[in-house]
Amino acid sequence: MKLSKVLKEKSITLSFEVFPPKADSAFESVKQAAYDVAELKPDYMSVTYGAGGSTSDNTLAIAEGIQKEYGVTTIAHLTCVGATKESIRNSLLNMKNAGVENILALRGDKPKWMDGEPFTDYHYASDLVEEIKKFGGFCIGGACYPEGHPDASGKSQDIENLKKKVDAGCEFLTTQMFFDNNIFYDFLNRAESAGIKVPVIPGIMPITRASQVDNVIRLSGCRLPESLKNITDRFADDKDALLQAGVIYASQQIIDLIANGITNIHIYSMNNAEVVRRIRDNLSGIIKE
């Protein structure tokens, strides 16, 4: 099912993201972890793409398996990094044949192991969106950054580039993680003022392990609110306490979003079914099946 239809059919949607294995040798264990998440029957699931397309086959295999085994609509990620017109066309044909109808089109970042220019046929996500739109048959989504894309000169340029992506054919947007809902609300106002009318789906990352904190800041550049920093500092050496506190913090973020009229929530699951199950259970009286 196309995501545009999924978002219209339910008053509130809850979705999860999973990632494929970095090495083929880990495929079965990672696939099972993704399937454990799928067993929770989210409204849809997003399957990420390895750096430079390094896990593209596994991405599609997991996305196809989730749909066939659990009947959960999936979105497969696709990036510009190292992509040629031929490789993108082959990817789109494979997705079509696998029954995957939704794509998250991303520019992506150059991986450390890649030599040469990573962006040849496609320089920006908007270029990739145009190519997918031309191919036809897919519901296309894109990424957005409430705290600003790291390569943009400022928030105004970031919104201008986002508008180009939407004008090229994006039907929905999913945000980078954020930990302060006011940042998201400000971003939403700026996007709407720029004429961006497609659904903007907030991405929530539960912080449940101390090691996540430095990685999140380093990789995403997101600001950690003092309240969350206090939690991670206080419970850094208590695994169970930090898991519980992180789940509660993410749950509170989601409750606030819903209370303020946000109807679609996306959770970065890190392939951890227990974490997303706990969050879903915390929302059982708010998001009804």
Active site residue ranges? 17
Q: Which helix (H) or strand (E) holds 98?
A: helix 85-98
Q: Which residues in 234-289 belong to E strands, given as ranges?
A: 264-268
Closest CA to 30 of 43, 18, 16, 45: 18
Long-range own/partner contacts, residues 236-240 (CB < 8 A, 24 or more apart):
236/210, 237/210, 239/209
Q: Specify whether the CB–CB gap between 230 and 190 falls below 8 A.
A: no
**Angle, CA of 211, 217 and 222, to the nearest 5°:** 135
φ/ψ bin of 189: left (φ > 0), alpha (ψ from -120 to 50), beta (otherwise): alpha
Strand order in the sheet with 44-47: 200-201, 172-175, 139-144, 102-106, 73-79, 44-47, 13-18, 264-268, 203-204
Q: The tokens of 70 are what?
A: 């659990």
238-275 CB burial, b ≥16 within 10 A, e <16? eeeebbebbbebbbebbeebbeeebebbbbbbbbbbeb
Q: Of 20, 9, 18, whose CA–CA distance to 40 is shortest?
A: 18
